[in-house]
Amino acid sequence: MRRLGFGSGQLAGPGYWQARLDAARSTAILRRAVERGVTLIDTADNYGPDVVEELIAAALHPYPTGLVVATKGGVVRTGPDVWHHAGRPEQLRAQCEASLRRLQVDTIDLYQLHRIDPEVPLAEQLGTLVELQRAGKIRHIGVDTVTADELECCLAEATIASVQNRYNLVHRDSERVLAMCEARNIAFLPWFPLGKGVLTTGGEGSHSRTIAEIAQRYAATISQIALAWLLHRAPVVLPTPGTASLAHLDENLDAADISLDAEDLRQLDALAAPASA
């Protein structure tokens, strides 16, 4: 299995609103990802909203054997960078049914609770997903943006197959969550694996020189080193970098071929002190 997946958020426009590209260019990127061996495409119902799920289905359905399409529900987007929690059982059921229709499937491979709704008991939110799982509409359940304590609570309510938290070379607030995932063999999908563009240009402050020097030694780009570090970090880490560029897609996927040596890993590990979330 190729551990580098494709995150489809960049196929939405700024603020995850409407489409960024015309349908032909989005289709080309999605199909190229699959041609390069990508087996995980990550999306969400609020990318667009609705738009990106529809693009994925138009480009790839019927889906190749072995391709996992993961989506998310639990928030509602009402404008660019404007979203609201939507974790009531009736909302989650309606969102899941809508994603099934847009993706043109009977079962969603991986359905992730995009955010825990603080106004709804967690047991009701995950309980609804478990009901959908038992009904055959969801194969696996994941959660997005959780602390270590929240993950413990989630594990008490459902079998959690994946966690999706912000984590990259210079932002490591989820170190404890990653350790929990590694101990329990839960897939860890770091969002913003390139720091929302920070790690395409070299990191922050004094980080830049170290990353650039290491990249030069491998004849690689800074972003490739950042992705290679994530792949070395733990076997449960499945980065899903996104892009709206075919060239950048190939560049990202080529990072899987980089084998960092122990000294370079030590230097990269030292770039950010682990936090405690």
Catalytic residue from among 16, 47, 111, 167: 47
Residues 6+ apart with CB under 8 A from 225: 211, 214, 215, 218, 255, 258, 260, 268
The candidate with the shortest Cα–Cα distance to 177, out of 205, 138, 150, is: 150
Active site residue 63: no
Q: Is there a contact between 30 and 60 (Cβ–Cβ < 8 Å)? A: yes
Q: CA-CA distance, 7 to 168, in Å (whole number)?
A: 15
Find the helix packing angle between 148-157 and 175-184, rounded to 10°.
Answer: 30
- Structure tokens, 95: 């969102």
Q: CA-CA distance, 247 to 153, in Å (whole number)?
A: 41
Reduce the DSSP state of residue 77 to 3 states and report it.
strand
Of all helices (H) and strands (E), which one includes residue 163?
strand 160-164
Q: Is there a contact between 255 and 4 (Cβ–Cβ < 8 Å)? A: yes
Find the helix packing angle between 222-233 and 246-254, rounded to 10°.
Answer: 40
Q: Is there a contact between 164 and 112 (Cβ–Cβ < 8 Å)? A: yes
Partners of 108 in the beta sheet?
A: 138
HSE toward the beta carbon, residue 20, CA cutoff 13 A: 19
Maximum Cα–Cα distance across the chain:
54
Q: Would you please indicate which residues are annotated as catalytic (active-site) residues? A: 47
